[in-house]
Amino acid sequence: MLKVAKKMDVRIILLLLVNFAVISFGRKSYEGWQVYRTAPLTKLALEGLHKHVFSDPKFQVWSQPILNKPAEIVVCPKSRAKLLNILKKLNLSPKPFILNIEKFLEKERKEIENIKKQEIYGLINYVTFERYMDFTEITDYLNEVAANYPSIASLETIGSSFEGRPQNLLKLSSGSGSKKKIGVFINAAIHAAEWIGPAVALNAIHQLTANLANNQAFLDMANWYILPVANPDGYVYSWDHDRLWRKTRRPNKGSKCVGADPNRSFDVHWSEGRETNPCVAFYQGPNVFSEVESKNIADYLIPNGLDGNLHLYMVLHTYGQVLLHPYGYTTDPPININDLALFGSEAASALKAVRGTKYEVSNITNAFYHPYGNSEDFAYDQAEIPFTYTWELPGGAENSHDVPLSEIKPVVEETWEAFKSLVQSVYIARKNL
């Protein structure tokens, strides 16, 4: 009882400190900012958006621009007329989608605070999928799992962020099972604002520990390497200062704009990237691996991929409800395209069976506009991990950037079924080699 009371006291103090920090340093307001939705994107329109919109720091991307789907673009009041003019010239028929972003961000903050208050008084478990968890809470949870399940869980730091925060990776392994056991790497929150990614990653940990009785087969098939927060500095900043922050927090020489897109920093056709403005959300950085967070991930993947420990790499993004496989830098198919597409389709079917959520399965280039320097292509080409996938998880539609709190649990549960499908498919493929 005393131990529980002390834990509760510590959490009360931490919550007060977090609230004080937010009040002291301020949070970016999106009062009056709007989101406009376009007509479904053709290849020509997608090229136009990248040239005139996504390369302009006055605008932000609300959802990942995907071929044949509408784009959703964030704009401040002063730049609204300019955006609408561009979209109309591209024949994209823009329509207002969200009239005031701040309204929804404030709702999310209040809901999280209310649930936290209940947790302080012991009404909800410490690890929860009823709300999003901040970096400190995720770190504490990983330490707790490692302490409570020492026979299967171990925690390591693959490196530190620019500001010195650890990139904590949890390994889950039973130490038993077939000699053909595969390795699974899950990477979340490489884009800071995409909070549903860590929730999905944490649920995988929960399923393989607290709910292991129902998932023992998947621990016997695979060793799991889970990185819930790949971009710690950006993630913390998105909680304390700017909910829609995407990039890292490394200063850019000669620019007032901070950070780069860590998923454009990898050494895979990096030089072919076009985003050279430090103020743009997709800025690739001044040089390959300029973002230490990306370099740390690469340094972990290369030895573990090449010696056969890793066979499945998944990175979690929002949003779009698409499951993507290589490549992003070329339209040429990878050598195992048939298996990549088949396993992806089977995973999408397993996910849909839970509650009807539909995902498209595609290669990255067919859906996007050449995201050079991304981690998925790097994992496939350089680390030689044979199955790599990008999850564009569901978004909050008109409610928010990520799904509302009430949808976190359904999303993590349906995605777990897809994970199981992919693991089983890759395990069988590996076993038959």
In this structure, the number of other CB atoms found within 10 A of the CB of residue 300 comes to: 20
Bridge pairing between strands 59-61 and 72-75 = antiparallel
Is there a contact between 236 and 157 (Cβ–Cβ < 8 Å)?
A: no
In this structure, the number of other CB atoms found within 10 A of the CB of residue 315 comes to: 26
Distance CA 7, CA 95 (A): 49
H helical segments located in 168-210: 196-208
Is there a contact between 70 and 138 (Cβ–Cβ < 8 Å)?
A: no
Which sequence positions are flagged as catalytic?
392
Q: What is the token pair recorded at 157?
A: 């730091």
Q: How many residues does the chain have?
A: 433
Distance CA 391, CA 118 (A): 32
Distance CA 105, CA 20 (A): 19
Distance CA 103, CA 84 (A): 22
78 vs 30, 32, 34, 246, CA distance in Å? 12, 10, 11, 22
Q: Residue 89: exposed, middle, or buried by beta-carbon count in 10 A (0-12, 13-18, 19+)?
A: exposed
In this structure, the number of other CB atoms found within 10 A of the CB of residue 299 comes to: 13
Q: What is the token pair recorded at 284?
A: 């690739």
Is there a contact between 423 and 184 (Cβ–Cβ < 8 Å)?
A: yes
Distance CA 261, CA 54 (A): 13
Q: Give the residue carrying structure tokens 């977090």.
A: 18
